[in-house]
Structure formats: C-alpha cells, structure tokens
Amino acid sequence: MLNPKWLWILSVAITLAVKGAVGALDLNIDDPDSIRTAAKTTAKNMMSQYHGHEPGQIPGKLPDTWWEGGAMFMTLIQYWYWTGDDTYNDITRQGMLWQKGRNDFFPRNESSYLGNDDQMFWGLAAMTAAELGFPEGNSEVERGKDGEGKEEKKEKQPSWLSLAQGVFNTQAPRWDTSACGGGMRWQVWPYQGGYTTKNAITNGGLFQLTARLGRYTKNETYLDWAEKIWDWSASTPLLRAGGEWTIADTTSMANQCQDHGDQQWTYNYGAYIGGAAYMYNLTNGGEKWRAGIDGLLGTTWKTFFPRGNTMSEIWCERSVTCDRNEDLFKGFLSSWLTFTTTIAPYTADAIIPRIQQSALGASRQCSHDRSCGRRWNKDAWDGSSTMESDMSALSVFSSAMAPFKPGAAPLTPETGAFSKSNPSAGSDEDTNPQKQRIISDGDRAGAVFVTLLFLAGWIWGFAWLVCGNEQIK
Ligand SMILES: *[C@@H]1O[C@H](CO)[C@@H](O)[C@H](O)[C@H]1NC(C)=O
Ligand SMILES: *[C@@H]1O[C@H](CO)[C@@H](O)[C@H](O)[C@H]1NC(C)=O
Ligand SMILES: *[C@@H]1O[C@H](CO)[C@@H](O)[C@H](O)[C@H]1NC(C)=O
C-alpha cells in the first residue's frame, strides 16, 4: 500500500498544479470583453489593498508610500477611460482632492520628505484627468474637511488642470542652475539623500507635464519649458540624443553632470517618449520630436523587449531584485506608449503588437484570487505577488483596449476638454527651498530639527553612495 504521507504530498502537488494552471487569467487579446474582464479582476485585486476611503483612514494614502497613490489614481483614470468602468471614480476623486495640498500636491503631512518626482506623478495624474474628461471634483465630492483640515463646504474644488498647473508652478522655481547649467534635482530638500542628484524621471516627467500643459492650454510658457528641459537633458548623460538615444537614470551635481548611473528603466524612456509625442503633435509633426520618438523607441525595443514583443524590466527582473517602486515602471511605459499611438499615429504599428503581447504575458502572471506576478515574459507565474504588479498589469490591460477605441486621444479644449485653466494655481505658498525665509523663534526650533535631519540625510546619502546606486524611495 502507498504510504499515506506520499499520497498526501501527491494530492497537494496535483492541487497546486491545477490551481496554478486554472488560476491564470484567461485573456483573448482580440476580444474587448475578455480584456475588460481581465482588467476588472486585476483592478479589484489591486484595490483590495487600498483602504484610504475607509473610516479613520487617510484618503489617497497607501501604506509606507505617498507617490504610489498618485500613480494608482493615474492608472485608475486610464482604466476608466479605456474600459468605461467607473467603479473607482469616486474613490479616485476623493483621494486626489484629499492629497491636493494647496492645489499643488505638496501636502504638509508629506512635504518634508518629498522628491520632485513624487509630486510630479500626482501632477501627471491630474493632467490625465483633465485630458481624458474625467469628471471634475465639484460634481459630487464629499463635503467636510479637506486634507489640510480646512472647512471646504463653500470652497469650490480646483479643476484637474489647475492642479497640474499648481505642480508646475511649484516646480519651476526649483529649476537649479547652481550646477550642470540647469535641471531639476531629484529631491526637494537639502537634508535628503538625492538632493545633489539630477535624474531622468524628475526631468523627463516635468518635460512630459509641460508638453501636455502646453498642448492643452497653448500657453507658450509651458512649451518653452518643455523645450528647455529636453535640451538641457540632452546636454547631460540623462538623454544621449542623436545617434545613441539612451537614457541614464542619474547624474551628480558634484561632477557637473558628467558622470552617469546607467541603470536602464522602462519609465524613464516612457516619460521622454510620451513628452516628445505631445510636442510632435503640437508642432504638427516637428522633425526634432519625431527624431526623438524614433530614436528612443528603437532603444526601448532593443533593451526592454529582449525576446519578441513582451516587455521586461531587465535591470531587476532577471536578478530578482525589483523593489515595489520598480514593479510599477512597466505600467507607465505601457500607458505612455499607448497614448503616443493616439497623438503620433504613425507609431501604432510598432507599439500596439508589443502592448498586446505584453498584456498576454501579464495575464499569465495574474489570477482571480491573488495579486499579479511581475515577469511578463515567463510562461508560468513567477511566484511573486504585489499590488504594484497589479498596477502595471492593469495599465497594460487597459492599454490593450486602444485598438477598440478608434479616435481616442488626449483632449484639448478644441476637442471637448472642459477642465478649467488657472495659470497661477498653487503659487500662494513658498515651496522653494532655495529662497531665503524670515526666521522666527518657531523657525529656529524647527531649524535645529532640520539640521539634525540634514545630518541624518548626509549619513544616509553617504551610505547610499557606498552601498551602490540603488534607488531609495
Ligand atoms: C495628515 O495627517 C492627519 C493625521 O494623521 C490626517 O488626519 C490627515 O488626513 C492627513 N492629511 C493628508 C492630506 O494626508
Ligand atoms: C495629432 O493628434 C491627433 C489626435 O488628437 C491626430 O488625429 C493627428 O494625426 C496628430 N498629428 C500628427 C502630426 O500626427
Ligand atoms: C501662461 O503661463 C504662465 C506661467 O504659468 C502664466 O504666468 C501666464 O499668465 C499664462 N498666460 C496665459 C495667457 O494664460
């Protein structure tokens, strides 16, 4: 007779094998209903880990991270746009408005520790809402105290567009000319590790935000900024334009931005390609921007699609070192490439098949009853399971709806966008660390604290240098 222990192990193995095979999402890339179902399941799994809308919780806040909230709402707005499912619209509105700070996504609870890129992601979420015609906050927002504790009963909620403008208005004064002839620093405050680093996502992200503000408002100021950020980036290793077309992740001010942290990340490419696509569209096919799109797309295909048409975060997936931030990056590249096809339609033939294959790959990592794994180019589930991988998968599933929505494109007022402009939004507060402030007693006590933090930052920054160039967030 067979030993009962072996019988038990055998039955567990069979159960696991069956569960593994049955568990993966079933995706037919040619059937919009199938795509919608996969996206809906994944959105549900992702949102099961968000509690900001529950009593006693902080709307818009995910545990131990602030920036991911902005990324999540951006993903949910795109999900609503591509699939039509408005299940999470109220939660999105509530979370974004709660975290709006003084209409600049620089809320006091968080602002002492923020990177420029963190704030920028919330700005891109608001810009996405404006461009896709996401219902404005005024419509049915919950009344009560807002995130800063102010009564907002009579206060009108700011438009999505104005929140994106508020981010621009607080970031533009932080443009730093003390080294490298320009550029945005990664972090906002001197006591933060990364204050003396200039990096691709911060600059590429603001480039994209200003290009989008420019296309929406036709205000030359934004377009001049977009051009300035692109040209400055191209004067550093962050954007090796013309020929090589690679994007370095970081460069340091100590070396006048001559050195380069060459880790290759999908979202850096997505940020610059996406921004270039808006400029291309706005300039009616401008040669400079077309060269940028084509050059960076070429490197993107070579680097992040190592075998066939499925996207891979090559820098961390093979070595199994992806952290929660990095698990989000493929989602950004997916959505920014997809919107590129709507405003630079000549790119669709190259981009759409890669989005479709990547969505199929993601479906093999996802399941009805758990969060998705990360390695889209594996035949079977890679055993990982994070809400960040859910977010990336949701983004690529939503993107796979693009072929079924002909004529989709980010709106401008000429094509039906209704979000109102407020060019001075968010500029009622001095959030520029480089400006002198008048010192009061309270400030002096604060200064001691900040000095201590500064020292801690130094030690941390030193450890960061010694221990290697991994991104710390
Ligand atoms: C700031 O923190 C307080 C205390 O935890 C919380 O009640 C409030 O909602 C937070 N505001 C924001 C914008 O996160
Ligand atoms: C700009 O985008 C629109 C969609 O909004 C598209 O119809 C048009 O072809 C694009 N322009 C160029 C030069 O590709
Ligand atoms: C354009 O944007 C700039 C910068 O925000 C602002 O100062 C200016 O008033 C805007 N112009 C118009 C016409 O809206």
The reported pLDDT for the residue numbered 156 is 82
Cβ 71 vs Cβ 96: under 8 Å: no
Closest-CA residue, ligand 3 atom 9, reads 423
Neighbours of 301 (CB within 10 A): 15
The reported pLDDT for the residue numbered 138 is 75
The reported pLDDT for the residue numbered 468 is 45
Kindly state if the Cβ of 384 falls inside 6 Å of ligand 3: no
Distance CA(67)–CA(325), nearest Å, equals 9
Average pLDDT for 83-100: 98
The DSSP element (H or E) to which 197 belongs, if any, is strand 197-199
The pLDDT of residue 373 is above 50: yes
The reported pLDDT for the residue numbered 441 is 42
Closest-CA residue, ligand 2 atom 11, reads 281
Mean pLDDT, the chain, whole residue set = 89
Kindly state if the Cβ of 414 falls inside 6 Å of ligand 2: no
Kindly state if the Cβ of 107 falls inside 6 Å of ligand 1: yes
Residue among 321, 298, 328 at smallest CA distance from 391: 328
Neighbours of 221 (CB within 10 A): 14
The pLDDT of residue 17 is above 70: no
Ligand 1 atom closest to residue 110's alpha carbon, by position in its atom list:
14
Distance CA(101)–CA(205), nearest Å, equals 20
- Residues with Cβ within 8 Å of residue 321, at least 6 apart in sequence: none
How far separated are the first and last CA of the chain, in Å rounded?
57
Strands 197-199 and 250-252: antiparallel
What is the amino acid identity at position 315? W
What's the angle, vertex CA 247, arms to CA 205 and CA 229, rounded to 5?
A: 45
Kindly state if the Cβ of 423 falls inside 6 Å of ligand 3: yes
- Residues with Cβ within 8 Å of residue 380, at least 6 apart in sequence: 20, 24, 364
Location of structure tokens 């400055």: 232
Give pLDDT tens digits for 143-155: 455 666 555 444 5
Which band of pLDDT confidence, cut at 50, 70 and 90, is reported for residue 457? low
Q: How far is CA 302 from CA 81, 288, 291, 309, 377, in A?
A: 30, 22, 17, 10, 15
Which band of pLDDT confidence, cut at 50, 70 and 90, is reported for residue 452? low
Residue among 82, 79, 108 at smallest CA distance from 91: 79
Q: How far is CA 118 from CA 25, 188, 426, in A?
A: 32, 10, 16
What is the amino acid identity at position 139? S
Ligand 3 atom closest to residue 423's alpha carbon, by position in its atom list:
5
What is the amino acid identity at position 90? D
Give pLDDT tens digits for 305-351: 998 999 999 999 999 999 999 999 999 999 999 999 999 999 999 99
Average pLDDT for 365-384: 97
Say how many Å lie between the CA of residue 223 and the centre of ligand 2: 18
Distance CA(417)–CA(442), nearest Å, equals 45
